[in-house]
Amino acid sequence: MDRFDPDLVFFEPQALEYPLGKQLYAHFEKVGTPIKMTTSHNRVTGIPGDTDAKKYRNAKRTLVVGLRKTMEFDTSKPSAEYAIPLATGCAGHCHYCYLQTTLSSKPYVRVYVNLDEILERAASYIEERNPEVTRFEAACTGDPVSFEHLTGALKRYIEYMGEQPNGRLRFVTKFNNIDSLLDAKHNGHTRIRFSINTAYVIRNFEPATSGFEERIEAAGKVAEAGYPLGFIIAPIIIYEGWQDDYKELIIRLHERIGHLVIPELEFELIQHRFTKVAKNTIEKRYPKSKLDMNEENRQMKWGRYGRFKYVYKKDDAAEMQKMLRELIGHYFPSAEVAYFV
Ligand code: SF4
């Protein structure tokens, strides 16, 4: 899936007092998407489905249009100072997605229409830290790109930060719905990162996101538009033929963007990990998943959030890291590998 067009939309009444709320309402009326009202996103009811699995799938195809009420931004260390609200949730179905556990009971996508108020708050955070630069991450609570054609919110944020001498934006995506961002006046103040993986991993574990070639092509367009660019290769997974596939990934990237001058090109490398809670949820939600979560192939690591997680055994992780660092060093000698975890 390249972009998300919902099957059902809920509106909070207050959203209709904002231009973006009105615009979205008119759009969905025009294209014939069923519209319902809800007093609050917490009270969304009536998502169809006679089993939990069907309800979950339908909820992922549902959009809730509302207001961001809390104007305190969460922190987003170490890669940014703050998480800037833009939306919550994602229509993708990545088996290992962190939203499986954090948004389990509310998997629908929520977008906010009070963007001016959010940007005003961002301005006050920038002001507080002057003359230091303040970085905002827009993808902490979901992927912000698949519905950009509906809201235009990212473009607003990008152009706003482009005008802020000390404001920076960053986000990560698995979607290629970025054409409307290519002419944004970003002024080099927004770093777009693509979450990429082998064709096998994307095909088997990342349903309802953009494909392997689509993401690489989108990254090429973003680089040509002069954005600071980065890649998150995650989760790195061991399966039969994985070494060849990761090599193919780096070579394909090189074919598409190797000839471009990309300032501060950066790679982040994250091996697959899971917790017991996540494993249970994934097995329930995607019972046919081929994702290997056999604890015997893993070692335990104490996680930041007070839970043990299972990562690859030391030798496997070392091989993974060495191989990818060498490939990146060979094909992208001026790029930096920010970390491997
Ligand atoms: S694209 Fe990102 S946020 Fe969306 S389901 Fe996949 S991992 Fe989760």
Whether residue 77 is predicted with pLDDT greater than 90 in this model: the reply is no
**Burial class, 166, CB count within 10 angstroms (exposed 0-12 / middle 13-18 / buried 19+):** middle
In the chain the first and final C-alpha atoms are separated, in Å, by 29
Reported as type and span, the H/E element at residue 252 is helix 242-257
Q: Among 2, 194, 209, 214, which residue has the most ligand 1 atoms within 8 Å of its CB, making it the best to mutate?
A: 209
Q: pLDDT per residue over 159-204, tens digit each?
A: 999 999 999 999 999 999 999 999 999 999 999 999 999 999 999 9
Binding site membership of 97 for ligand 1 (Cβ less than 6 Å): yes
- CA dist 7 and 65 (Å) reads 14
Hey, how many other C-beta atoms are within 10 angstroms of the C-beta on 281? 18
Whether residue 263 is predicted with pLDDT greater than 90 in this model: the reply is no
Say whether 36 sits in a helix, a strand or coil. Answer: strand
| The ligand 1 atom nearest the CA atom of 98 | 8
Q: Among 94, 203, 210, which residue has the most ligand 1 atoms within 8 Å of its CB, making it the best to mutate?
A: 94
Q: What is the CA radius of gyration of the chain?
A: 20
- CA dist 138 and 84 (Å) reads 5
Structure tokens at 239: 């399966």
Alpha-carbon torsion angle 173, 174, 178, 184, nearest 10? 10
Record the pTM: 0.95
pLDDT of residue 42: 78
The dihedral built from the CA positions of residue 161, 162, 167 and 170, taken in this order, carries a sign that is positive
- CA dist 4 and 145 (Å) reads 9
DSSP letters along 283-321, please?
HHH-TT------GGGEEEEE-TTSSEEEEE-HHHHHHHH
Q: pLDDT per residue over 278-327, tens digit each?
A: 999 899 889 999 999 999 999 999 877 667 899 999 999 999 999 999 99
CATH 3.80.30.30 fits 8-340, yes or no: yes
pLDDT of residue 286: 92
Whether residue 102 is predicted with pLDDT greater than 90 in this model: the reply is no
- CA dist 65 and 110 (Å) reads 6
Average pLDDT of the chain, as a whole number: 95
Lowest mean pLDDT segment, chosen from 22-26, 168-172, 258-262: 258-262
Q: Where are the domains of the chain?
A: 8-340
Report the share of the chain in percent with pLDDT over 90. 86
pLDDT of residue 58: 93
Measured in angstroms, how far is the CA atom of residue 99 from the centroid of ligand 1?
A: 7
